[in-house]
Amino acid sequence: MASETTTSKEYIQHHLQNWTYGQHPDGSWGFAHTAMEAKEMGFWAIHVDTMLWSIVLGALFLWLFRKAAKTASADTPSGWQNFVEWIAEFIDTSVRGSFHGKDKLVAPLALTIFIWIFLMNLMDLVPVDWLPSLAGWVGSTVFGADPHHVYFKVVSTTDPNATFGMAFAVFYLILHYSIKNKGVGGFMGELTMMPFQAKNPVVQALFIPVNFILEFVSLISKPISLALRLFGNMYAGEMIFILIALMYSGGLAMGIFGGFLQLGWAIFHILIITLQAFIFMTLTIVYLDMAQSEH
């Protein structure tokens, strides 16, 4: 929480800064000790906390679902098996309702997207100071680092690098299936011959640049909207948790009031966490369906 030696602005900035590894201006590689150092590292800097938590939660998802599959029993199913089967049935119903092709990748992809994003979003319910404080203690105890310079964000989806990474992966699949099912000519025809058409070849030729601009904007907006929607909602939710946490430094009464606010926002935020994972999954299914369908 914010202390007497830390202003509210510094407290917020500290919680919104990623643990960054990259190249310093002098050419050496290492971790950034300040937010300014992190900015100076440029494009090739790595947000270690984002990578760490996304990989850990992805591995957790695989382990939990693999465990359910290995111990599955038709006679005496466990509670965890029933829960996993319920999720799989829910995903299967969503895919069947939105995807009209026969590709075997879409359903596993939808399941992976939904659970992985849900788990990353779920980290937003962990009190904002717990894990960063633990990371600061480990850094100061084990590595002798200044705990005030230890940055540790635990919600990967509040980092646009993570959300854009997932969105670009979906965008690659959109392009892949579009070209695979329609060919390069068919795909380029969709970008240049729609939506305006004319029987006169000369007029149609004049429509080509207009069609391309409209269709290209529509195409490129898909990954951008996927990434920014998820990032924006989770970043805003994290910011509210941080602002509520500031109330704990305002005395006992403000601390109690802040506790009730935190609980209320956490309960409401469960809906946002689930909804954002569902929206990302559903739009991915729809976009892949559009990529395999005629214009």
Flag whether the pTM goes above 0.95: no
Say whether pLDDT at 196 is over 90. Answer: no
Q: How far apart are CA 295 and CA 289, in angstroms?
A: 11
> Does residue 89 surpass a pLDDT of 90?
yes
List helix spans (H) across 48-105.
48-70, 79-98
Q: Is the bond into 195 cis (omega within 30 degrees of 0)?
A: yes
Q: Which two tokens stand for residue 225?
A: 């909207």
Mean pLDDT of the chain: 90
* Catalytic annotation present for 229: yes
Does residue 23 contact residue 44 with C-beta atoms inside 8 Å?
yes
- Per-residue pLDDT band at 145 (split at 50, 70, 90): low
pLDDT digits (tens, 9 = 90+) for 37-76: 999 998 889 999 999 999 999 999 999 999 999 988 888 8
Active site residue 225: yes
Judge whether 16 and 34 are in contact, CB under 8 Å: no
Segment 81-103 shows an average pLDDT of 92
Instruction: Report the pLDDT value the prediction gives residue 149, as an integer from 0 to 100.
Output: 67
* Marked catalytic residue, from 161, 181, 229, 249: 229
Strand partners, 23: 29
pLDDT in tens, 211-251: 999 999 999 999 999 999 999 999 999 999 999 988 887 77
Give the residue among 51, 20, 279 at the shortest CA–CA distance from 167: 279
Does pLDDT of 4 surpass 60? no
Per-residue pLDDT at 257 exceeds 80: yes
Tokens read off for 151: 């940055």
pLDDT level of residue 141 (50, 70, 90 thresholds): confident
Question: Measured between alpha carbons, how far is 12 from 128 in angstroms, rounded to an integer?
Answer: 11
d(C-alpha 15, C-alpha 129), whole Å:
8
Catalytic residue among 8, 82, 221, 225: 225
Q: What is the pLDDT of residue 2?
A: 46
- Confidence bin at 101 (pLDDT 50/70/90): confident
Instruction: Report the SS3 class of residue 124.
Output: helix
- Assess whether 96 carries a catalytic annotation: no
* Among 18, 54, 211, 233, the one annotated catalytic: 233
